[in-house]
Structure 1
Amino acid sequence: MADNDEHDRAGGRVLAIGLDAAESSLIRSLIDAGEMPAMKALLDRGSWSRVTGPTEWSSGCVWPNFHTGCQACDHGQYSIWNWDPAQMRLAYTDEERLTPFWKRLREEGTSVGIIDVPFSPFLGTTPGFDVHEWGAHSRVDGRVRVSPGLAEEVTTGLPEHPFTDPLAQVPVEPDQYAGFLDECIEGVRLRGELATQLIRRDQPDLSLVVFEEAHHAGHFLWHTVEPELPMYADFPPVAVPERTLADLYRELDRQVGRIVEAAGADTTVLVFALHGMGPSRGLPPVVEPLLEGLGMTHVQEGVSRRSALATIKKHMPGPLRDLYRRSVPLAKRSQWGQDSVMPAYDWSRTTAFALPIEQYGIVRINLAGREAQGIVPPEQYDQVCDALEKEFLALTTADGRPVVSDVARPPRGAHAAGLPDMIVHWHPAAFESPAVVNGVEHPNIRREQTGQHRWDGFCIATGPAAQAIGDTIATEELHRVVVGALGR
């Protein structure tokens, strides 16, 4: 009895539900309209806070910021591919090198249940449960892993998540959007069922569940929220299904209600999104041609980065290629194929180079003393960055509007050796008209993506968390509220 009293004084159970890249303004409007009753009930007995994200980076650092409690300039990860200046090549993300906050909690005897926290390592320990990349949007390892015992029993007893198959497709044709939305909504339902069963059976001290379907759907279905925007003018009616992204949010609310009920009335609850989603139309492919036109980037003549494996795959029969993708983990396939991700630069003549585009344009300076083959003297670093920023800000679209809104130069920390030097943020006009570089129009790539990240997130919190969180909280500070509500 004394042990139970001590646990009550220290804190209680905590349920944290992440809605990955769910847009706070849309969530709030649906709550205010009475269309998300579960979240409204939580808000009525709790608080609403703004969550600020790492605006100068791409989305690959958001979840690492959360689960490590560090900024990107300290944990060193900004993408699935991260630059290694010692090897002068890209390194595929290694989730295992990051330590999530729940590892210490488990070591101290706290039971923890985890379902799909993006870019976090699989610990697989008990008590509690661990489910990793089950229908994930952010696939790094590319295979489903579950902790021994109860979690494995439950996941094998459920239908397969629609996005478990590595060959699952995103919509690229107008008539595919309705079916894609249906699959996303079904994924939300299945994830809610999985979380409800596991939490009800194990009742862990901390349950942390992330719905990645909101992220996956948001990238390809934002045009169903704002179909009247000029950037979507060429979409035929069939590409805007009767149901919209808001219907997926309503299903999220239903599943949040079920999970909250399974966790119990005395559980502290946080429902949060670390960042949001807004309109876009692909990505402007302007960084490489601009650097080439300025003579800052030079590719080795006659050198192909296509690996032997890539050549073999190109000539594989379709069924054999599909078997390869299903049987070999994504992490291993990505490591084998990394040589094709970037051009074969001539480092002796390259002053600055583009890193793989994600949400924004990303530039690295070939700095002497930092890059293994760096040529830019440290005293010229600021001069090179200033010149590049001026060139980016001068870019215009075909109809004369800006391509770039601003250029960020991120701060540096303990592990910043491989981080970008410049992040190029796009102007909204770049999603409506092609960019022009050196007199040549460059239409956007990945135009099937109609949504892109916004940086403000939100958190609805109850109990001790509502009292501790305040009006605004940074992404890397949020997990401390979770730990505090546990009394740890």
Structure 2
Amino acid sequence: MSSVNKVLFLGMDAGNKFLIQEWAADGILPTFRSLLNRGLVGDTMSLEGFYEGSTWPSFYTGVTPAQHGIHSLIQLTPGTYKFEHIRPGDFVKCDPFWNHLSRAGKRVAVFDIPLSGISEELNGIQMIEWGCHDGVYGFHTRPEHLKHDVLERFGPHPLIRSCDSFGWTQKEFPAFRNLLVQGARLKGELTKHYLKQGSWDFFGQVFSEGHCAGHQCWHLHDQRQIASITQSASVTEDPILDVYIAIDTAIGEILAHIDPETIVIFLAGHRMAHYFGLQFLLPDVLCRLKVARTPMEVTAEKPPDTVDKLEAVLTWGWRHTPKSVRARLQSLRRNLRGWIDVHQGRPSPMFFGIEPRKSECFLMHNGASVCGIRLNVAGREPEGLLQPGEEAEVFCDQLAQDLMDIVDLDTGKPAVKSVKRCSELYRGKYLDHLPDLLVEWNDEKRVGNTVTGTLDGARVRLFSDKIGVVEGANTYCRSGDHRPEGLFIAFGPGIKPGRMKRTVSIMDFAPTFADLLGVKLPLSDGAPITEILKAR
């Protein structure tokens, strides 16, 4: 198998392909404008139902979540009612493509690929979470001394805490924007430095600053768009635009220093747009449909015991404890509360207020845009209520119909776009790690929140004959969320410029990188992108 000499991969985590193309056409993003004109351009699609948690694991393994096992950073342990925070690099069931390249003797440098871990067998250098949106491990490198070198030369990424942790007053957004712009600039400098340090067969770097900006600042982008249409001067700042410009500049400077024989692939594998998920209402909906029960409903069925009486006394006592004293008692209170919950058999807060043992189904963590529902199946779950086979099938059909019947009272339109069975979308050894049903909300309506001042649309009212009116307010700070569509651009010797007519999968890139460098992956649900392979 013939191979090219070098491959440079540059990613933009959750970059919106429509904004990239629009601002490139307007000349605002000159680097992307040049790439779009001289490269092979194609549309990409992430994983149906799992484009929030599985995009990057499927990118670097080339397989579906039913094969690599990851759909969220909080996952249910099969055969239990226990949710755990996972470490993706340790949890993923398939090797990333750079491990296969290393075994084949290729020299690789892998920087900040999201939701990945350190590869001990890597033939090269690696850093994770110097500047990523999702922090799991913290900043780590291989070899370990590389961390000291990075911090000495470039320091930590300017955004040193989760983008969800800001207070989100209007005064904080400019400072947040500045941290992201500075982070993109530094990441460009860091990339140029280490790109020069070795004769890399594969070098990869991902810019995640657009991910953070998209989650927290989408409402400001929307406001600026509306202001430009109405010729209003009240809104002039768009942090997303500023961050995209910084990334465009950084990528342009990186490309100015590459070998002309290098194959370059840029990827914005999924995008960001307005927030629309109604997961905050789904627990109430399932309870109204009488397929899920709350701990309070279960507790009300049994007479109070000693622990119930103790809880009542502690609750009364806490309410009458002066605030000045509460801080010193918080630790003791948490321990007592945990003991009571365990004694009562109550679920952890990770179950969204649903008692899984007494419910026919319960929620799994899967993001806000597409919610995951797990059936409480006998023989699979410890205290399953639904019999596998016909009973579970009929239950799924009815629940799907009941969810599709729900309308948003403010718009009169269906609140749910689709309900799909995971088993009909995916096959694999780790299918049981995934939800059974995927509930995708209608994204036509922007959902605001009570945190960032985007109150318009924060309160939502749902209705159907079965649930009556279910209403509530979104208290999550994000104003932007994920969509599955993406974009790639490839250029280099032998690659013909133009626009591909077909859409490629996020899973196609791992086998493409491997194939370009003369390596075959042992397992892949994706297929090499033949239009790029012509460069060999």
Instruction: State the TM-score bracket (shorter-chain normalisation).
Output: 0.7 to 0.9
Mapped partners of 1:444, 1:168: distance in 2: 15
SS at match of 1:439: strand
Assess if the C-alpha contact under 8 Å between 2:376 and 2:386 holds in 1.
yes
Q: How does 1:400-479 map to 2 (within 5 A)?
A: 400-410=412-422, 411-413=425-427, 414-427=429-442, 428-429=444-445, 431=447, 432=457, 434-436=460-462, 438-446=468-476, 448-463=477-492, 466=495, 470=500, 471-479=502-510
Assess if the C-alpha contact under 8 Å between 1:191 and 1:211 holds in 2.
yes
After TM superposition, give the deviation of residue 161 of structure 1 in Å.
1.0
Residue number in structure 2 paired with 1:349: 358
How many residue pairs are counted as aligned between the two chains? 449
Residue number in structure 1 paired with 2:36: 43
Deviation string, structure 1 residues 155-180 (Cα, Å, up to 9, x no partner): 33213212234698335222222221
Assess if the C-alpha contact under 8 Å between 1:15 and 1:270 holds in 2.
yes
Task: Output the amino acid matched with 1:401.
Answer: K
The answer to whether residue 115 in structure 2 is matched with residue 84 in structure 1 is: no
- Structure of greater Rg: 2
The answer to whether residue 22 in structure 2 is matched with residue 34 in structure 1 is: no
Residue number in structure 2 paired with 1:368: 378
Change (3 A) 1:386 1:176: same
After TM superposition, give the deviation of residue 226 of structure 1 in Å.
2.2
SS at match of 1:202: coil
The answer to whether residue 66 in structure 2 is matched with residue 97 in structure 1 is: no
Change (3 A) 1:346 1:442: closer
Mapped partners of 1:250, 1:65: distance in 2: 28
After TM superposition, give the deviation of residue 216 of structure 1 in Å.
1.0
After TM superposition, give the deviation of residue 407 of structure 1 in Å.
1.6
Assess if the C-alpha contact under 8 Å between 1:125 and 1:147 holds in 2.
no
Mapped partners of 1:77, 1:159: distance in 2: 31
After TM superposition, give the deviation of residue 250 of structure 1 in Å.
1.3
Residue number in structure 1 paired with 2:180: 184
SS at match of 1:225: helix
Task: Output the amino acid matched with 2:437.
Answer: M
Mapped partners of 1:40, 1:405: distance in 2: 35
Deviation string, structure 1 residues 394-430 (Cα, Å, up to 9, x no partner): 2222423332122222224221112111121122236
After TM superposition, give the deviation of residue 372 of structure 1 in Å.
2.6
Residue number in structure 2 paired with 1:325: none
The answer to whether residue 4 in structure 2 is matched with residue 11 in structure 1 is: yes
Task: Output the amino acid matched with 2:59.
Answer: F
Mapped partners of 1:339, 1:367: distance in 2: 20
Change (3 A) 1:387 1:454: same
SS at match of 1:452: strand
Residue number in structure 2 paired with 1:136: 132
After TM superposition, give the deviation of residue 20 of structure 1 in Å.
0.3
Assess if the C-alpha contact under 8 Å between 2:126 and 2:142 holds in 1.
yes
The answer to whether residue 250 in structure 2 is matched with residue 288 in structure 1 is: no
Tell me the TM-score normalised to structure 2 length.
0.76
SS at match of 2:358: coil
SS at match of 2:171: helix
Mapped partners of 1:271, 1:372: distance in 2: 46
Mapped partners of 1:54, 1:354: distance in 2: 20
Tell me the TM-score normalised to structure 1 length.
0.83
Change (3 A) 1:166 1:227: closer
Change (3 A) 1:445 1:169: closer
Task: Output the amino acid matched with 1:445.
Answer: T
Unmatched 5+ residue regions in structure 1? 1-5, 231-235, 321-337
Query: In structure 2, which of residues 104, 107, 130 is the aligned counterpart of residue 108 of structure 1?
Result: 104
Change (3 A) 1:295 1:282: closer
Assess if the C-alpha contact under 8 Å between 1:136 and 1:163 holds in 2.
no
Change (3 A) 1:122 1:283: farther
Mapped partners of 1:22, 1:111: distance in 2: 28
Deviation string, structure 1 residues 213-245 (Cα, Å, up to 9, x no partner): 111111111223322789xxxxx998x552431
Mapped partners of 1:229, 1:40: distance in 2: 21
Q: Once superposed, which parts of structure 1, at least 4 consecutive aligned residues long, lie more than 3 Å away?
A: 124-127, 142-146, 148-152, 165-171, 281-284, 299-304, 314-317, 343-348, 464-471
Change (3 A) 1:418 1:315: farther
Residue number in structure 2 paired with 1:278: 273
Query: In structure 2, which of residues 232, 252, 260 is the aligned counterpart of residue 265 of structure 1?
Result: 260
Residue number in structure 2 paired with 1:122: 118
After TM superposition, give the deviation of residue 154 of structure 1 in Å.
2.9
After TM superposition, give the deviation of residue 127 of structure 1 in Å.
4.3
Unmatched 5+ residue regions in structure 2? 227-231, 300-306, 312-317, 319-324, 332-346, 448-456, 520-536
The alignment-based identity, stated in percent, is: 26
Change (3 A) 1:346 1:190: same
Assess if the C-alpha contact under 8 Å between 1:48 and 1:459 holds in 2.
yes
Residue number in structure 2 paired with 1:329: none
Assess if the C-alpha contact under 8 Å between 2:351 and 2:364 holds in 1.
yes
Residue number in structure 1 paired with 2:303: none
After TM superposition, give the deviation of residue 107 of structure 1 in Å.
1.9
SS at match of 1:57: coil
Assess if the C-alpha contact under 8 Å between 1:116 and 1:209 holds in 2.
yes
Mapped partners of 1:157, 1:290: distance in 2: 53
Change (3 A) 1:438 1:145: farther
Mapped partners of 1:262, 1:149: distance in 2: 25
Residue number in structure 2 paired with 1:156: 152
Change (3 A) 1:345 1:449: closer
SS at match of 2:372: strand
After TM superposition, give the deviation of residue 460 of structure 1 in Å.
0.4
Change (3 A) 1:129 1:179: same
What is the Cα-based RMSD across aligned positions, in Å?
3.2
SS at match of 2:283: helix
Mapped partners of 2:141, 2:233: distance in 1: 40
Task: Output the amino acid matched with 2:116.
Answer: S
After TM superposition, give the deviation of residue 203 of structure 1 in Å.
3.6
